[in-house]
Amino acid sequence: MADDLEQFSESQQSLEDQFFLKEDRQLIEKLKQLKRMEESIEALSRVSGITNKDVLQRLVELKVHPESVAALALVPIVEVAWADGKLDENEKKAILKGAEKTGYAKKSMEHDLLKGWLMRKPAPQLMVAWEQYLHGLSEQLSADALAELKKELLSHARAVAEASGGFLGIGAISPEEQKMLERIENAFRQ
């Protein structure tokens, strides 16, 4: 009987040890995740110039990495091109021409990301990430700089939307593309 009681006590201790070991591992993993998130927030802040912690945290949650921040600027243009569900060669050329004109080197990581987005439509979260990025950026830019950014972005987006043509210039911008252009413009008002 004493042996049974001792075995039961050892078994109970073993179960408690396993429980607390599992709890400790979960806590350690949560701490590691928190540290990675904090490091990502700091890195995003350094790269983007955004200081709003809520915006930075939202970007991290949307899986925006510091090395892809520069490519975020191209997201609205890519979204306009994909708005009607397809991307044609003229739209591709217009996007690449605009990207190169604004300084995206052909062998850069940003250019590689862009090429991937031209092969397959990006996930909808990417546009949400851009809107968050714009929100944070707008807190850092002067009204004039923000207005210039809006003008350049919308000009490039319209050029991409018009690139697929329509028939004799009629319907050059599809209703879906127009809706995306409006979403981009509205993002600057928030």
Coil, strand, or helix at residue 170? strand
Question: What is the domain range of residue 109?
Answer: 53-187
136's tokens: 């944070």
- Is position 32 within any domain? no
- Is position 36 within any domain? no
**Mean pLDDT, to the nearest integer, of 183-187?**
95
Give tens-digit pLDDT for 55-99.
888 887 877 777 777 778 889 999 999 998 989 898 998 888 888
Average pLDDT, the chain: 78
- Is position 78 within any domain? yes
Dist. CA 131–CA 190, nearest whole Å: 9
- Is position 69 within any domain? yes
Q: Work out the number of other CB atoms within 10 angstroms of the CB of residue 180.
A: 23
- Is position 45 within any domain? no
Dist. CA 38–CA 33, nearest whole Å: 9
What is the model's pLDDT at position 25?
A: 61
Q: What is the pTM of this model?
A: 0.68
- Is position 158 within any domain? yes
What's the domain count of the chain? 1
- Is position 182 within any domain? yes
- Is position 15 within any domain? no
